[in-house]
Amino acid sequence: MSEIQKLEALEILDSRGNPTVAVTVTLSNGIKTTAKIPSGASTGKLEAAELRDGDKTRYGGKGVLKACAYVEGEMHDAVRGMDPNEQEVLDDRLCSLDGTPNKSRLRANAILGVSLAAAHAAALDKGIPLYAHLALGSDYVLPTPMLNVLNGGRHADNSVDFQEFMISPIGAPSFRDGLRAAVETFHTLRSVLQLKTYSTAVGDEGGFAPELQSNEEAIKFVLEAIQKAGYKPGEDIAIMRDLTLPSQNVALTNCFNSGKGNVDEERKTRPLHAGVQAGGGTASGVWPEPSGGSPQPWSCGAEARELGQGASRGEVEGGERQGRGHGGADGDQSLACGACAGDDGARHPGKSHGILCKGLEVRYAFIERHGRIWPICVPCRVLGVSVSGFHQHRARRGRIAPRRHLSDAALLAHIRAVYAEHRGAYGWPRIWRELIKRGIRVGKQRVQRLMQKHGIRARSKRRFRVVTTDSRHDLPIAPNLLKRNFTPAGPNAAWTGDITYLATEEGWLFLAVVIDLFSRKVVGWSMRPDMHRSLVIDALEMGLFQRRPPKGQMIFHSDRGSQYASEDFRGVLDQHGVQASMSRKGNCWDNAVTETLFGSLKVERLHGERFETIRQAKDAVLGWLLWYNRQRMHSTLNYLSPLEFENHWEKQSSRAAA
C-alpha cells in the first residue's frame, strides 16, 4: 500500500493571470502528482471560501502564500502516512482539520489542492485514469458535452447579463457525434457574428464576447447558429444558461450584473425573450444551468417562475396547481415548490408529503443521486441528516457489497478495458486479480465464464528460436555459482543477463537486459543493431548506476556468450566487486528467468507486429519494459508487479527494524 509521504505547495498564475495554488503530492513509492486549483470570477454564498493574502503590494492582495503555508504545515502533518486511495477518509480528515462549515479557516483552495492531488496520485499508483479511480468501481458513462459559446456577466466586458450561454447536444447518439455537432455549431456562430459585423473575440471562459444589444439578441444568435449548422434547437441541441446565483435568495435577479444597466434600483428586470419567459423556454431548447453554488429549489417566487424554475408551464400560465405529494421519494420533484409555499419556498413541515418524511435510506439515496447538482452539505441540511452520516452510509454500503448489482454487460466492459490496457497479455487469472485490485469484487469463475463466452483470451504462446549465444571461443568461462537459485533473500544479491533479437525492416535489433532475481525487475537494458560487447556492458552499467549494489556481495549470471566472457565485460564486474557466474554449456534452464522474460516480451508485445524502423522497435520494447516493471502482475511475486513487490518488502523490512 502506497502512503502519502510529502506535500508541497506553489503559488502559480491561472489563465486570468491571478495567483492560485498548485499542490504536489509525493507517495512512498516515488509517484509524484500535481493539482492546480481553478478560481472562478464569481462565487456564491454556498461556495467554500478561498484564502487570499490580502497584501496589496503583491498581486493586488490576491496572493496565496498563506494557503501554501497551510498545505505544507498543518495539512501535511494531518495527511502524511495516509492511503491516497481512501479518498473519503482523506477528505473527511481535511474537513475536520478545518472545523468550519464553509472552509473559512484553511480555505477551499488549500483543501481542494490536497484532495485533488491525492486523487491524481492514487489513480497513477493504480495505473488507471483519474475518472476510473473516482468511479470507485462503479459503472460510468461519458457525459453529454456542454460548450460555452457566448460570454457575458463577469466573464466579459459587454452588455449581456447571463455569464454563459452554453450549447449541449442532447439528441446525439454518442459522445463523438455530440461533440462534433457542438463544435460545428460553435464555428457556425462565429460566421453568424462576423456576418453581423460583431466581434468574435473570446471571453474568459472561451466563448465569444460580442457587444450585443440585449440578452434576447444573444439567444437569437445561438438559435440561428444551431439551425444553420443543420440541427434542431431543443431537439438536437439545447441552450444551457449559467444563471450565476452568487449571494441572494432570488433566483432570477441575481443572474444580472447590476453594473450593466439592466437592473433598476428595486432590482426589477425588464421582460425577457418570450421563449425564456414561457416555462423556461424548453420549446426553444433553452434550459437553465445554475452555477455559483447550488441551485436553490426553495426559491419559488415570481422571479423564478419567470424563467420556469420551480414551477411547471401550467403553473406559470394558469396559476398554481393544487398538487399533492410533489416531492416524491425518488427526488424527481423540486423541494418545497408545491401548493401553499411561502415567499421563501417553505411549507408547513407537518403537511409535507415528500422526501422529508421518508427514512434515512431514501434520503441518502436522494442525496447521492443529486450529488452532481448540489454540494453534499446542501441536501443534507435540508433533509436533516449529517454529512458525516451520509459518508459513513456510503462507506458501509461499499464494504458490504460493493459489486452486488454489477451486471454481466457492465462486468464485461471492465474486463475488456483491463484486457485492452494490457494489450491482451492477461488471461482470466490476471484479469480477475486486476479487477479485485480496482475494487470490483467478483468471482473468478464468473470472469472465466464471460471471457470464454466472448472469446477473450491472452495472446497464445509460440515457439521462438533464439540463437544469440556464441560459446565457441577461447575466452575464460566462469563457474556456475547461481546453481538455479532463482529466489535470493534480498535485492541486489543475484542478477542475470542475456541477449535476444528483434526483426525490423531496417535490419536486426539486439536487446540485452539485466534482471534482479529477487523482484524480477529489469534494472538495466541496452539496444543496438549489432551484438558488440558494448551492448551487454551498457545494460550492466545502467543497472549498477541505478542500484549501486555493495561490493563483493552480488553474483551476475549469464550464458557463455563471447560478449559476457570478454575482457572488457569482466573488467566492469571486477571494478564493482561483482562475481561472474555462467550457465553450463547448452543448458538454457540455468538462465530460465531471463529466457522467460524474453518469451513474455515476444508473446505479449512483439508477436504479430511489423516494425518499419529500428526506432519503432526500440519504442515498443521500452514501453513494454516500463509496463513490466511498474504494472505487470508476476505469478512468482504473488501477482504483484516488480515495483510493488520491492515496495512491499521495503515496508516490511523497515517495520521489522523498528
Q: What are the pLDDT digits (tens) for 249-265? A: 333 333 333 444 444 33
Q: What percent of the chain stands above pLDDT 90?
A: 25
Q: Answer yes or no: do 152 and 275 share one domain.
A: yes
* Residue 103 resides in a domain: yes
Q: With bands split at pLDDT 50, 70 and 90, how would you rate the model's confidence at 188?
A: very high
Same domain assignment for residues 280 and 314: yes
pLDDT grade for 554, boundaries at 50, 70 and 90: very high
pLDDT value at residue 572:
92
Q: Say whether pLDDT at 325 is over 70.
A: no
Residue 357 Cα distances to 295, 351, 383, 392, angstroms: 22, 10, 9, 21
The answer to whether residue 393 is domain-embedded is no
Amino acid 65 reads L
Asked if 21 and 120 sit in the same domain, the reply is yes
Residue 188 or residue 49, greater confidence? 188
376 or 497, which is more confident? 497
Strand partners, 432: none
Q: What is the pLDDT of residue 436?
A: 84
Let me know whether 170 and 284 are in one domain. Answer: yes
Strand 4-13 relative to strand 238-242, pairing = unpaired
Closest CA to 304 of 319, 318, 288: 288
In a domain, 476, yes or no: no
My answer on whether 33 and 71 are in the same domain is yes
Both 71 and 189 in one domain: the answer is no
Number of structural domains the chain divides into: 4
Structural domain range at position 627: 494-653
Does residue 113 share a domain with residue 90?
yes
Reduced DSSP (H G I as helix, E B as strand, rest coil) percent helix, strand, coil of the chain, to 5: 40, 15, 45
Whether 294 and 165 map to the same domain: the answer is yes
Q: What is the pLDDT of residue 607?
A: 73
Query: In this structure, what CATH number is given to the domain that contains residue 607?
Result: 3.30.420.10
Residues 168 and 310 reside in one and the same domain? yes
What is the per-residue pLDDT for 44?
Answer: 59
Residue type, 6: K
At residue 154, the pLDDT reads 59
Residue 344 falls inside a structural domain: no
Is the per-residue pLDDT at 248 higher than 70? no
Domain co-membership, 122 together with 159: no
Whether residue 362 is contained in a domain is answered as: no
Indicate the residue among 134, 158, 189 that finishes a domain: 134
What per-residue confidence (pLDDT) applies to 48?
A: 75
pLDDT of residue 35 exceeding 90, the answer is yes
Strands (E), 517-596: 521-528, 554-558, 578-582
Q: Is residue 353 a part of any domain in this protein?
A: no
Give 310's pLDDT tier (boundaries 50, 70, 90): very low
Other C-beta atoms lying within 10 Å of the C-beta of residue 555: 19
**pLDDT, average across residues 316-327:** 35
Q: Are 156 and 58 in contact (CB under 8 A)?
A: no
pLDDT digits (tens, 9 = 90+) for 594-605: 888 888 888 877
| pLDDT recorded at residue 1 | 65
Q: Would residue 402 count as lying in a domain?
A: no
- pLDDT (0 to 100) of residue 511: 93
Q: Are 277 and 201 within one domain?
A: yes
* Least confident stretch, 88-92, 196-200, 283-287: 283-287
Average pLDDT, the chain: 76
Range with the largest mean pLDDT of 148-162, 205-219, 530-544: 530-544
Q: Is residue 42 part of a domain?
A: yes
- Beta-carbon contacts of 259 under 8 Å, excluding residues fewer than 6 positions away, are none
| CATH number of the domain that residue 304 is part of | 3.20.20.120
Range in 50-64, 286-300, 533-547, 606-620 with the lowest mean pLDDT: 286-300
pLDDT exceeds cutoff 70 at 510: yes
Beta bridge partners of 265: none
**Threshold 0.75, pTM exceeds:** no
Same domain, 127 and 166: no
Q: Strand, coil or helix: what is 169?
A: coil
pLDDT higher than 50, residue 92 = yes
The arithmetic mean of pLDDT across residues 600-616, rounded, is 83
Domain limit, last residue, from 319, 334, 356: 319
